[in-house]
Amino acid sequence: MMPAASWWHELSGTEKFRLYTQLTLQGVIAVVVVITITPTIGSTWMTTGICLAGAAAILSIQSQPELAVWSPKALQRWGRPVGALTLASVWLACALVAHRATDDTELDAATGVGIFAASLATIALVPFIRYRWWIVLGLAAATGAAVGTTPAAAIRVAAIVLLAGLFIVATTLLTLWGVRVVDELERSKASEAKLQVVEERLRFARDLHDVVGRSFSAIAVKSELAATLSRAGAAERAATEIDEVKTLAVESLDQMRELVRGYRSINLDNEVAGARSLLRAAGCELSTEGDPNKVPAPFHEVAAWVVREGTTNIVKHSVATSATLTLGDEGMSLHNNGAPGSLRNGTTHSGMLGLAERLTHVGATLDTDTADDGFMLIIRWAKP
């Protein structure tokens, strides 16, 4: 593939649109200059005036970052003043020639170049100035007075410049608006991409907390139990607990790898069974009411996360001896009889914040109750 074609294909859609618009706008000026200059090849001053006016117009547009193909800072600073001064000089020269013309040919030439310079000003300068519509009106009147040697000629020239100027300014503003809209869309896409990255990082951190928190809590409980059994002389039972700790560690590593790959899923039935086993090892009996199948399908995964996070909190932050898990088609709850002091004092753990975010994402709500020295998670599913 040719270098130019390869470069073009590497541009984004926004960059292609912007470049196409910039080249089209400046290409139109170049084409108009060529068309206008062709009949005046024999007149040196007319050819020079048209070329200077065209170059000044392109220079002025190049000083506008939104419409420039190539716009270094020096050009942005001096391009517009130099372009405006050049166009004004050509316009004034045409006015002088028109009033000193000795024949109709010279007068018509001066009038044509004057109108051309004024029209270029409406595309390269006027759209970027305040009170642009009044400036178009004033420029039309001034051009008519400058190159029109009779009242009728002045009115005719003013009308031409006014109509052309209004159309050109409106077209340029629409072009500029289109470029700005595309740029805004590009910025919005970039912001959305950054937001998605941040959200994915938060999701990953939340999932990692849930996976590691649950597994490490189980490992800590079973390790402590194994140590107690070992000191009590129950070596065989201690070895069994150590084997379970090893199994938990391996499973945790597998879950973390799956989490990184993005393939990990969570199952409500498995979480309930795991919660019962973990709580029993921690000295807390879990009883269940209801059936996991009653939980609406859209909420199965988040319900599993509720069980996991709730179980982790019981093990890490409470002294509960019993817990009750209730599952239903309108919501679920997890109650334990040993609320930690931090929760009774209103402290919210990071895991609970992550759980609340999960529930909000699927339209469910999370409430807590710490009455009677217990702690209860109350979740209500969103109604269809």
To the nearest 10°, report the CA torsion of 357, 268, 331, 281.
-90
Instruction: Record the pTM.
Output: 0.52
| DSSP string over 188-229 | HHHHHHHHHHHHHHHHHHHHHHHHHHHHHHHHHHHHHHHHHH
Cα–Cα distance between 319 and 328 in angstroms, integer? Answer: 27
- Residue 275 counted as domain residue: no
CB-side exposure of 187: number of CA atoms within 13 Å? 6
- Write out the H or E segment, with its range, that includes residue 368: strand 365-369
Beta strands in the chain (DSSP E): 285-289, 322-327, 331-336, 365-369, 375-380
Cα separation values, 24 from 31, 60, 168, 169, 173, Å? 10, 15, 14, 16, 14
Q: Look at residue 288 in the predicted model and tell me its pLDDT.
A: 92
Confidence at residue 77, expressed as pLDDT on a 0 to 100 scale: 78
Assess if residue 90 is contained within a domain: yes
Domain boundary among 166, 190, 214: 190
Q: Decide if pLDDT at 146 tops 80.
A: yes
- Predicted local distance difference test score (pLDDT) of residue 337: 87
Contacts of residue 265, defined as CB under 8 A and 6 or more positions apart, other chains included, come to 301
Q: What is 240-291 written as a DSSP string?
A: HHHHHHHHHHHHHHHHHHHHHHT-----HHHHHHHHHHHHHHTT-EEEEES-
Q: Give the tokens for residue 266.
A: 């969570």
What are the tokens at 24?
């089209």
| Helix, strand, coil abundance in the chain, percent, nearest 5 | 75, 5, 20
Q: Please indicate, yes or no, whether residues 32 and 180 belong to a single structural domain of this protein.
A: yes
Pairing of strands 375-380, 285-289: unpaired
In a domain, 201, yes or no: no
In a domain, residue 226? The reply is: no
Which residue would you say has higher pLDDT here, 169 or 214?
169
Instruction: For residue 67, give the 3-state DSSP assignment.
Output: coil
At which residue do the structure tokens 């194994």 appear? 226
Structural domains counted in the chain = 2
Is residue 145 included in any domain, yes or no?
yes
When pLDDT is cut at 50, 70 and 90, the band that residue 205 belongs to is confident
Judgement on whether residues 157 and 28 belong to the same structural domain of the protein: yes
pLDDT in tens, 118-141: 988 888 888 888 898 999 999 899
Q: Rounded to an integer, what is the distance from CA 185 to the centroid of its chain?
A: 8
Per-residue tokens: 161: 């410049």
How much is the pLDDT for 251? 78
d(CA 176, CA 318) in angstroms, rounded, equals: 64
Give the model's pLDDT for residue 65.
Answer: 77
CA distance 300 to 338: 27
Q: Give mean pLDDT, residues 44-66.
A: 84
SS3 state at 103: coil
More confident residue, 204 or 45: 45
Domain with residue 376: its CATH number is 3.30.565.10
Q: What is the mean pLDDT of residues 101-112?
A: 79
Domain presence at residue 220: no
Bridge partners (DSSP) of residue 368 are 377
Mean pLDDT rounded to a whole number for the chain: 81
Q: Please report whether residue 265 resides in a domain.
A: no
Helix (H, G, I), strand (E, B) or coil at 62: helix
| Res. 348: pLDDT tops 60 | no
Q: What is the pLDDT of residues 238-280, one digit of tens each?
A: 888 888 888 888 877 777 776 665 555 678 888 888 888 878 8
Distances (CA, A) of 100 to 17, 97, 103, 351: 47, 5, 9, 88
pLDDT value at position 384? Answer: 62
Alpha-carbon distance values, 43 to 38, 51, 92 (Å): 10, 12, 18
**Residue where a domain stops, chosen among 174, 190, 206:** 190
In a domain, 249, yes or no: no
Tokens of 320: 């509960």
Of 159, 190, 221, which one is at a domain's C-terminal end? 190
> For residue 369, what are the domain limits?
284-384
Residues 288 and 181 grouped into a single domain: no
